[in-house]
Amino acid sequence: MGSNSKSREACHEDRISGLPDAIISHILSFLLTREAVRTSVLSHRWKNQWTSVPNLYLRDREYYPLERRLKKSDPDGFSGFVDRVLFFRGSSNIHRFRLLCLEMKDFSRIDAWIRTAIMRNVVELNLELYEYSNPPQPFVLPRSLFMCKTLVVLKLRLQSNFIALAPASDCFPSLKFLHVDVVLPDADSMEKLFSCCPALEDLVIEGEPGYDSVLNFEVSAPKLKRLRISWYIVPFHRNYDRKVFINANVPSLEEFNLQENILANYSLKNAHSLSRAKIDLVNLHSGEKFGTVRDSADHIQWLFAEIRNVKFLSLSAPVFGGPCSVYQYHLPTFNNLNHLELLLQNCCSLRSVTNFLQISPKLEHLVFENSIHCYVCHFVDESVHEWSPPAFVPACLLSHLKTIRIRGFQGLPDEMEVVEYLLKYGAVLNTMTICTLEYFCEEKEMKVPLLGLREEVKLLQTISKFPRASKTCQIVFPKLK
Mean pLDDT is lowest, of 101-105, 410-414, 444-448, for: 444-448
CB 246 within 8 A of CB 229: yes
Helices (H), 373-434: 395-399, 413-425
Whether 407 contacts 438, CB under 8 Å: no
**Alpha carbon distance 368, 404 (integer Å):** 8
pLDDT band at 295; cut points 50, 70, 90: low
Label the pairing between strands 438-441 and 446-449. antiparallel
Per-residue pLDDT, 229: 93
**What is the pLDDT, as a whole number, of residue 3?**
52
Residue 235: pLDDT band (50, 70, 90) is low
| pLDDT value at residue 68 | 46
Query: 376: Cβ–Cβ under 8 A, 6 or more apart, which residues?
Result: 285, 286, 289, 347
Residue 473 binned pLDDT confidence (cut-offs 50, 70, 90): very high
Tens-digit pLDDT profile for residues 361-407? 999 999 998 766 665 655 545 444 567 888 899 999 999 999 999 99
Residues 52 and 41: their CA atoms lie apart, in Å, by: 16
Which residue from 165, 150, 142, 98 is spatially nearest to 120, judged by alpha carbons? 150
Q: Which residue has the higher pLDDT, 454 or 7?
A: 454
Supply angle C-alpha 386, 387, 390, rounded to 5: 140
**Closest Cα to residue 46, out of 31, 24, 13?**
24
Burial of 284 (0-12, 13-18, 19+ CB in 10 A): buried
**How far apart are alpha carbons 397 and 413 in whole angstroms?**
21
pLDDT of residue 172: 94
pLDDT tens digits for 261-273? 777 888 899 999 9
Eight-class DSSP state of 41: G
Q: What is the pLDDT of residues 40-98, one digit of tens each?
A: 777 666 777 888 899 999 998 776 655 443 444 555 688 889 999 999 888 999 999 99
Does the pLDDT value for residue 357 go beyond 90?
A: yes
DSSP E strands in 103-166: the ranges are: 124-129, 139-141, 153-158, 162-164
pLDDT of residue 86: 93
Greater pLDDT, 178 or 380: 178
Confidence of residue 289 (pLDDT cuts 50, 70, 90): very low
Question: Residue 160 has what pLDDT?
Answer: 74
| pLDDT for residue 177 is more than 70 | yes
Res 46: pLDDT: 77
pLDDT tier for residue 312 given thresholds of 50, 70 and 90: very high
216 Cβ neighbours under 8 A, 6+ residues apart = 187, 243, 244, 245, 246, 247
* Mean pLDDT for the stretch of residues 320-340: 75
Q: What value does the mean pLDDT take over residues 17-22?
A: 75
| pTM of this structure | 0.85
